[in-house]
């Protein structure tokens, strides 16, 4: 008991000494002036910020290829500046490969409702072609909650369902940090993901457990930078996308 009292007395006198010392400091002693912060011009009227890489601005699919054979992407390019999954065309992916990113992407389900559960406007945003954020029309459409809209598919239930009405445009703003591996292929730092759905936090720095898996549990496999992939769920889920950009994060 004596030892504890002595420790408390020493600790409290050290704390008050540090406080007294801090009071003698000038405000300028805790100001940092270097390094200078880069300037980014933010987007206006739903355009990308000045340092973003534009992956789709509605004019062409030049940044995209079919995921399977890397031939030019052949999803529908629409007059309104969007693209739509073409039936049975397969997934598409970016030509460019990415590591850590901030991603902005907008999507909408068809106005005409078709199918139910996982077959209603199912698509997906796959970071590094592996880690899927689910795209699904969940309005009056029950499904398993770890596979619903804005889930990290089969890994993390979204905090809320922030969907707009069926047929209206949704936004995802995603911050993703890629996993790190040692030379033996073992994961030494797992990937993390934060997702805002229509500006609402739905995934809060979730630690991804491995490659998205439809059957069984997720596991990591060693990889480097990789393409962003968009899913064709192959059930005539005609989901549309527009205004896709990334900012690479160091
Ligand atoms: Mg999906």
Nearest to 53 by CA among 84, 82, 96: 96
Confidence of residue 13 (pLDDT cuts 50, 70, 90): low
Q: 135 alpha carbon to ligand 1 midpoint, in Å?
A: 6
Q: Using one digit for the tens of pLDDT, what is the confidence trace for 236-245? A: 899 999 999 9
Q: 71 alpha carbon to ligand 1 midpoint, in Å?
A: 22
Measure the CA–CA gap between 87 and 76, rounded to whole angstroms.
10
Q: Using one digit for the tens of pLDDT, what is the confidence trace for 166-193? A: 999 999 999 999 999 999 999 999 999 9
Average pLDDT (117-141) is 97
Q: 8 alpha carbon to ligand 1 midpoint, in Å?
A: 57
Q: 122 alpha carbon to ligand 1 midpoint, in Å?
A: 5
Note the pTM of the prediction, 2 decimals: 0.91
Average pLDDT (47-68) is 97
CA distances to 3, 42, 72, 137, 213 from 195, in Å: 50, 20, 29, 17, 20
Q: 153 alpha carbon to ligand 1 midpoint, in Å?
A: 8
The pair of three-digit structure tokens given for residue 166, joined into one six-digit string: 């069926």
Nearest to 243 by CA among 125, 108, 106: 106
User: Which SS3 state, helix, strand or coil, does residue 178 take?
Assistant: coil
Ion ligand 1, residues whose Cβ is below 5 A away: 122, 124, 231
Taken in order 139, 141, 145, 151, the sign of the CA dihedral is: negative
Measure the CA–CA gap between 204 and 218, rounded to whole angstroms.
19
Measure the CA–CA gap between 73 and 67, rounded to whole angstroms.
8
- pLDDT for 45 equals 87
Measure the CA–CA gap between 112 and 133, rounded to whole angstroms.
23
């Amino acid at each position: 008991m004596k030892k504890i009292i002595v420790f408390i007395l020493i600790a409290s006198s050290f704390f008050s000494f540090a406080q007294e010392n801090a009071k003698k400091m000038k405000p300028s002693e805790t100001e940092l002036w270097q390094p200078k912060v880069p300037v980014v011009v933010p987007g206006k009227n739903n355009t990308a910020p000045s340092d973003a890489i534009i992956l789709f601005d509605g004019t062409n699919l030049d940044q995209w290829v079919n995921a399977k054979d890397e031939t030019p992407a052949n999803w529908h390019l629409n007059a309104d500046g969007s693209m739509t999954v073409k039936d049975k065309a397969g997934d598409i992916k970016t030509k460019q490969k990415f590591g850590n990113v901030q991603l902005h992407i907008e999507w909408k389900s068809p106005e005409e409702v078709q199918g139910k559960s996982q077959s209603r406007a199912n698509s997906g945003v796959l970071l590094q072609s592996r880690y899927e954020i689910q795209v699904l029309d969940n309005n009056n459409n029950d499904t398993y909650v770890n596979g619903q809209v804005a889930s990290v598919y089969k890994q993390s239930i979204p905090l809320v369902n922030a969907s707009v009405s069926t047929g209206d445009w949704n936004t995802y703003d995603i911050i993703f940090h890629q996993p790190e591996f040692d030379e033996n292929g073992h994961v030494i730092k797992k990937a993390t993901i934060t997702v805002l759905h229509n500006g609402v936090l739905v995934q809060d720095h979730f630690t991804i457990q491995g490659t998205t898996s439809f059957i069984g549990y997720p596991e990591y496999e060693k990889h480097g930078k990789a393409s962003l992939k968009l899913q064709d769920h192959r059930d005539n889920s005609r989901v549309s996308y527009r205004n896709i950009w990334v900012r690479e994060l160091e």
